[in-house]
């Protein structure tokens, strides 16, 4: 069951190699399986759901993604608490999300269906 404000997804980059190379590594090392969403994104469901993004242009760091029942309310709460919005709300296959930086400089995202 999804819960508002809880860690729900972990997105990592596939920028160090090709997406196929990253998928092959995790398949061979840990038996992971993937669902492709276009040529530059592959999702996995191995405990905590996540994905690899070969098109991301942020620094090579994992992107923790929190779930929100009301994404507009969450964006306002992040802003009110002093977070810096890095990417405003945008649509993607499966829902909408935005990215923010916390006061320590960590980038996170919030998504909603």
Note whether 21 and 15 are within 8 A (CB). no
Is 77 part of a structural domain of the chain?
A: yes
- Output DSSP code: residue 83: P
Query: b/e per residue, 82-96, with b = 16+ CB within 10 A?
Result: ebeeeeebeeeeeee
In angstroms, the Cα distances linking 37 to 47, 76, 112 are 20, 30, 18
Q: So what's the pLDDT on residue 110?
A: 93
Structure tokens at 102: 């916390």
Domain range holding 40? 7-112
Is 25 part of a structural domain of the chain?
A: yes
| Of the candidates 3, 2, 35, 5, the residue with the CA atom closest to the CA atom of residue 19 | 35
pLDDT tens-digit profile, the chain (113 residues): 788 888 899 988 887 668 888 889 889 887 899 999 988 899 999 888 999 888 866 566 788 999 999 999 999 999 999 889 999 999 998 899 999 988 778 888 999 99
Is 1 part of a structural domain of the chain?
A: no
For the chain, how many structural domains are there in total? 1
Is 81 part of a structural domain of the chain?
A: yes
Rounded to a whole number of angstroms, the distance between the first and last alpha carbons of the chain is: 13
| Of the candidates 73, 18, 19, 12, the residue with the CA atom closest to the CA atom of residue 48 | 12
Longest dimension (CA), the chain: 44
CATH number of the domain to which 80 belongs: 3.10.180.10
Q: So what's the pLDDT on residue 56?
A: 64
């Amino acid at each position: 069951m999804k819960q508002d404000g809880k860690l729900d997804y972990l997105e990592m980059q596939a920028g160090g190699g090709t997406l196929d190379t990253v998928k092959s590594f995790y398949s061979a090392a840990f038996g992971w399986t993937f669902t492709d969403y276009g040529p530059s994104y592959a999702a996995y469901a191995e405990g905590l759901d996540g994905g690899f993004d070969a098109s991301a242009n942020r620094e090579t760091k994992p992107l923790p993604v929190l779930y929100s029942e009301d994404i507009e309310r969450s964006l306002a709460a992040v802003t009110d608490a002093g977070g810096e919005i890095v990417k405003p709300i945008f649509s993607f296959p499966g829902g909408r999300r935005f990215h923010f930086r916390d006061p320590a400089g960590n980038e996170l995202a919030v998504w909603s269906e």
